[in-house]
Amino acid sequence: MEADGLVPQLQVWLNRHEAGVTVVNGGVSGDTTAGGAARIDWSLSPDIGAVMIALGGNDMLRGLAPSEAKSNLTKIVAAVQGAGLPVLLIGMQAPGNYGAEYKAEFEGLYAELAEDYGTLYEPQFLGALGQVPAEALVWMQSDGVHPNEEGVLRIVEALGPRVLELAEMAASKE
């Protein structure tokens, strides 16, 4: 159900913590970093106060070059910061089946961007689900790629404090 997704559940979590913010879903299911880069300029409407970037998983699933994802994410972060908005960059993990070099390059690009641009950074989107794939499977849908309702709740609990930090940064800029 849509209400069980990340954005609605994050909104519930933020409301419980009296954050006083509204989460706007700028994501598109199945999207890559290229899609996000193409949309970012018109997505930064006046009602947006901060941006959480959780893109790259579909790039990785398609085996796209990490350098391509990094270039696209760089465009997104630069556009958001160019609009004077704080950024929370969420890293993605690559499975080992792409090889150690791909995995290291893909996972490392997030930390590099966060450091280069001074963004808030959370290293692992799925980190709350377990450190090894076998641990995470219980929190995943049958496709083994997307978190189930309980998995989303665990992710929200893990990301929530970072999103609160992002909201506080946005409020201090007002």
Residue 30's pLDDT is 85
List, for residues 18-46, the tens digit of each pLDDT value: 999 999 988 888 899 999 999 999 999 99
Whether CATH 3.20.20.80 fits 2-17+32-173: no
Q: Residue 142 pLDDT > 70, yes or no?
A: yes
Q: Higher-confidence residue: 170 or 130? A: 170
Q: Residue 135 pLDDT > 80, yes or no?
A: no
Candidates 93, 86, 92, 78; CA nearest to 119 is 86
Candidates 92, 164, 104; CA nearest to 129 is 92
